[in-house]
Amino acid sequence: MNNDVKFQESFNNKIIRNEILRNINSIQDQFRLMLTSTNNKQLITRSLDILDFTLDFSHPESKLLIPILKYINRFHKLTLYHPTDESLNLIESVDILEIHRSKIQHSNTINHLSNIIKNRLIIDKMHSKGIICNTKPLMKFNNSPQWSYVTSDDGFNIETHNITSITNRITLIKYKASKCIDKFIRTKIFSNLKEINLRWQEKLILDDEMLKHLAQGSECGIEILKLSRWMENITDEGLIHFKDTVKVLWLREMSRYRVTGKSISEFTQLEELKIRRCSRIQTENIEILCRGGKLKSLSLDSFEECQSYDSFSNLQYFRVNVQASNKIEHLPPSGKQFITHLYIKKFEIEEKYFSDFSNLQVFDINPNCRCRSTSKFITNIFSNRNPNIGPLEHLTIYDTNIDDETLQYLIGTRSIKIFINHNITSKGISFLDGIERIELRTCSKIDDNAMKYLWNAKAVSIINCPLITSEGYKQLQHVKHLTISNYKFPHNSFQYLSNIETLEVIKFEKYYDLDYRAKHYKNTPKYQDDSQAVSQEIIQQYLSKIKIIKISEDPDFLTDDSIRYLISQGVRIDNHKTKEYIFYK
């Protein structure tokens, strides 16, 4: 019995067929399989409702997707980038539809979407001026659309009673129609509003009166309030209107003299509080809240003036961001014992300092600041550790002399970053067997043998680890998100990576001076980039099967012709700059 016959017998089985279809990442490959026979076309048509695809219509080659959508037009989940009216109207049924940067031109498309979506709709950046007023049919979904902008032409026709969240984007800081948004918010009633997430925006005047209007207009009560960089017009009198409903409160760089935190102690339902760079907020008000409220999670970057650290004993999570200005070395053991998450941005701390963090779950540092330490750093973390707290959630090891034996303390750790280490080998990685997330950067002794211990990893980053060859990458075929650098990367490894959902490529040049910096900066060897564009053969055979390739940090990784080809095969090329998170999340 030849292989074709064996495959057909298996494919006729519904359970096996559905599993095969779920593992086909490209809608083009799905379509090719459909065309192999009339029987397969019928079988696949019956199973369309289980499919999950991401399609990008932003390039000319995307026109090749239109004929396919005439046959494959039912989905479980469909994510679309830059969809047109034509592409949207070809869809017959979808459980979850996610739309990014849409260019809808006709109101009948809106009506069509309201009829085909079974469960959930997510809209991000809808560029359809003049059409928004016709979107009432979309408001029935449990996740109401998030509009990128409101103008005087279309904004005031939006039905606001189903809007659950008001937010703005960093790209809108100097948006010219901010006055229209201001008027829109002040004159509309948001009866089902649950979340406010606003950062400073030019010509948008967020003040106590607007906060009062939003709080009193919500019949269900505001549960999430996030305010950032409003240096004036907001006081404790404005925040007090949310004291009976808000469960999550984030304040960042708020009014220097008008927000003292006096109102915070009266937030009876508050479960999560995050404060950043709000120098006038007095910690005594937070302590009152910790002692008598429902607070479970507290995040601070200024804490040295606490009256009693015992008030933090009821917290489930106590996160501290250490800036250069913080006097963390003056924090007594009674304060350190309650910290669960410690993020260090700019500071030099002696290793013995960490022996009092008995409940520490996450330790992370800024990857752009060297922090020299030895094995004593880890042994001190575990010296007085609470035996009931379990293994670490995350640890960053940076520019250290930590060796294999020390990693025995980290058995069970879920996430780790190891930067610039020349001692750890595969033996040390064996103690991390089953880890979920790992970053390795400039680790000169970690080799292929270490990769077998990453069998459970969902996200792996390997940058400038010269002993890891194609044999090592062969063991990472199960990984969902892989980050690499084209610098010293073996291109023959791509043959094993076609099952990767997201491939992210960055230029090692941005780390080179940091990772190879000698005692004096002038002694750093000159960066010599040996990376090469990926061959067309590799692209056609292997990269065309990956769902998403992110090249914003290395736009030279693919040629223009390669990008066009991959898009024509249904691969989404992501070259948009995204926010770089310094710390573990």
Q: How many residues does the chain have?
A: 585
What proportions of the chain, in percent to the nearest 5, are helix, strand and coil? Answer: 35, 20, 45
Instruction: Tell me the CA distances in angstroms from 539 to 425, 523, 561, one per residue in order.
Output: 32, 39, 11
Element holding 428 (H helix, E strand): helix 426-430
Residue 447 has pLDDT above 90, yes or no: yes
Q: What residue has token string 């010293």? A: 488
pLDDT at 400 over 80: no
Q: Which two tokens stand for residue 133?
A: 């007023």
DSSP 8-state symbol, 116: H
**Region for 15 from its dihedrals, namely left if φ exceeds 0, alpha if ψ lies in -120 to 50, beta otherwise:** alpha
> Is residue 25 exposed (0-12), middle (13-18) or buried (19+ Cβ within 10 Å)?
buried
Output the pLDDT for position 249.
95
Q: Which amino acid is at 340?
A: T
Q: Sign of torsion, CA 567 572 578 584?
A: negative
Cα torsion 104, 109, 113, 114: sign: positive
Whose CA is closest to 289, among 314, 265, 313?
A: 265
Amino acid letter, residue 518: A
- What is the pLDDT confidence band of residue 146, given thresholds at 50, 70 and 90? very low
The yes-or-no verdict on residue 312 having pLDDT over 50 is yes
Q: Which long-range contacts (CB under 8 A, 24 or more apart) does 16-19 make?
A: 17/43, 17/44, 17/47, 18/47, 18/50
| Residue among 334, 333, 336, 290 nearest 315 (CA) | 290
521 pLDDT more than 80 = no
Residues with Cβ < 8 Å from 60, sequence gap 6 or more? 564
User: Residue 439: helix, strand or coil by DSSP?
Assistant: strand
Instruction: Taking residues 199-205, report their average pLDDT.
Output: 79
Q: What is the mean pLDDT of residues 535-556?
A: 85
Q: Kindly report the backbone phi and psi dihedral angles of residue 57, in degrees, each rounded to the nearest multiple of 5, phi listed first.
A: -105, 20
Question: Which residues face 195 on adjacent strands?
Answer: 165, 224
Which residue matches tokens 């693919």? Answer: 558
pLDDT of 135: 52
pLDDT tens track for 89-141: 999 999 988 888 777 777 788 788 888 988 887 776 555 444 444 455 555 55
Question: 219 burial class (0-12, 13-18, 19+ CB within 10 angstroms)?
Answer: exposed
How far from chain centre, in Å, is Cα 255?
29
313-327, 349-363, 500-514 — which is least confidently predicted?
A: 313-327
Q: Regarding predicted confidence, which is higher, 193 or 352?
A: 193
Q: Where are the beta strands (DSSP E) in 32-73?
A: 52-56
pLDDT at 432: 96
Q: What is the mean pLDDT of residues 263-281?
A: 88
pLDDT at 231 over 90: no
Res. 471 pLDDT band, cuts 50 70 90 = very high
pLDDT at 570 over 60: yes
User: What pLDDT score does 324 carry?
Assistant: 59
Handedness of CA 573, 577, 578, 583 (dihedral sign): positive
pLDDT band at 23 (very low <50, low <70, confident <90, very high): confident
pLDDT value of residue 241: 95
Closest CA to 121 of 163, 77, 162, 83: 77
State the pLDDT at residue 17. Answer: 87
pLDDT at 392: 92
pLDDT attached to residue 81: 86
User: Is 170 a residue whose pLDDT tops 60?
Assistant: no
Q: Is 12 helix (H, G, I), strand (E, B) or coil?
A: coil
Looking at residues 276-290, what average pLDDT do you find? 82
Give the CA dihedral 557, 558, 559, 562, nearest 10 degrees: 170
| Widest distance between CA atoms in the chain | 81
DSSP state of 568: H
pLDDT band for position 256 (cuts 50, 70, 90): low
3-state SS class at 61:
helix
pLDDT band for position 142 (cuts 50, 70, 90): very low
Please report the pLDDT score of residue 100 as a whole number. 80
Which is it for the CA torsion 17, 18, 23, 29, positive or negative? Answer: positive
pLDDT value of position 305:
58
Smallest Cα–Cα separation from 169: which of 158, 179, 180, 178? 178
Angle between helices 3-11 and 14-22 (to 10 degrees): 100
145 pLDDT higher than 70: no
Q: Token pair 């005439």 is at which residue?
A: 70
Q: What is the mean pLDDT of the chain?
A: 82
* Confidence (pLDDT) at 90: 93
Percent pLDDT > 70 in the chain is: 81
Choose among 32, 62, 29, 26: nearest CA to 567: 62
Tell me: pLDDT of 240 over 90: yes
CA nearest to 528, candidates 508, 514, 546: 508
Rounded distance between C-alpha atoms, residue 550 and residue 536, angstroms: 18
The pLDDT of residue 441 is 92
70-102 CB burial, b ≥16 within 10 A, e <16: eebbbbbbbbbbbbbbebbbbbeebbbbbbbbb
Give percent of the chain above pLDDT 90: 29
β-strands 93-102, 117-126 pairing: parallel
pLDDT beyond 50 at 154: no
